[in-house]
Amino acid sequence: MELIELTDGVVRLRAPDGHDVDAITELCQDAAIQEFTTVPSPYGRADSEAFVGQIVPAGWASGTSLNWSVRDASSDRLDGMIGLAVHEAGSAELGYWLGTHARGRGVISRATALVVDLTFDPERLGLVRLSWTGFTQNLPSRRVAERAGFHIEGHIRGYAMQRGRRQDAWVGTLLATDARPIGPVAPR
């Protein structure tokens, strides 16, 4: 699959590359990213190099894992990551994380809106179902999913795996036919 860049004029999404290795390594030292995602822990430069040098290109080439860096559109500063794990039968799972410097400003909500629109655009990805999973302690992530229109289907005990341990998780779904917010998504 060809790389896709997205922007709304405030955030810009593009595939991360070798220029992002140090910034990704630094951002992934954040305690919340370690606690609420499945990035390796501890996270080192080699993890970042493998992510941008192997995982990202292979995912785009196969069309099964589409990862974007979330950037400030005016400064090009790396703020976080957002991605789709694309599954069979027209579905995908959405995941994201954001550095502390960009939290609480609607950055990841804007990025999510861009990816959701791309996901359901019949002329682009044309998928019919999108899911989201978040550890139950991560209320900010749930709020982002809800603002994007996800229906939280439930709290599932022991649903998610993180570094060999089962975690309770919320699961949300969004269908192409579901109503979604219109216009810029502001933080609560």
Tens of pLDDT, residues 82-110: 999 999 999 999 999 999 999 999 999 99
Residue 77 has which token pair? 């500063």
- Whether 23 is covered by a domain: the verdict is yes
Alpha-carbon distance of 106 to 103, in angstroms, equals 7
**Is position 184 within any domain?**
no
pLDDT at 149 over 60: yes
pTM value is 0.94
- Model pLDDT for residues 3-43, shown as the tens digit of each residue: 999 999 999 999 999 999 999 999 999 999 999 999 999 99
Looking at the domain assignment, is residue 182 inside a domain?
no
Mean pLDDT of the region 146-157: 96
Is the preceding peptide bond at 42 cis, omega within 30 degrees of 0? Answer: yes
Residue 106 lies in a domain: yes
Average pLDDT over residues 162-181: 95
In a domain, 183, yes or no: no
In percent, the amount of the chain with pLDDT more than 90 equals 95
Q: Give the model's pLDDT for residue 185.
A: 53
**What pLDDT band is residue 188 in, cutting at 50, 70 and 90?**
very low
CA distances in angstroms from 35 to 23, 39, 59, 98, 118, listed in the order given: 19, 9, 24, 13, 29
Q: How many domains does the chain have?
A: 1
| Any domain includes 136 | yes
Chain mean pLDDT for the chain: 95
Residue 50 domain-assigned?
A: yes
Report helix, strand or coil for 67: strand
Whether the CB-CB separation of 102 and 80 falls below 8 Å is answered with yes
57, pLDDT greater than 90: yes
- Identify which of 83, 78, 34 has the alpha carbon closest to the alpha carbon of residue 63: 83
Q: Which domain holds residue 24?
A: 6-175
Residue 25 sits in a domain whose CATH number is: 3.40.630.30
pLDDT in tens, 118-131: 999 999 999 999 99
Residue 88 lies in a domain: yes
- Statement: residue 183 has pLDDT above 90: no
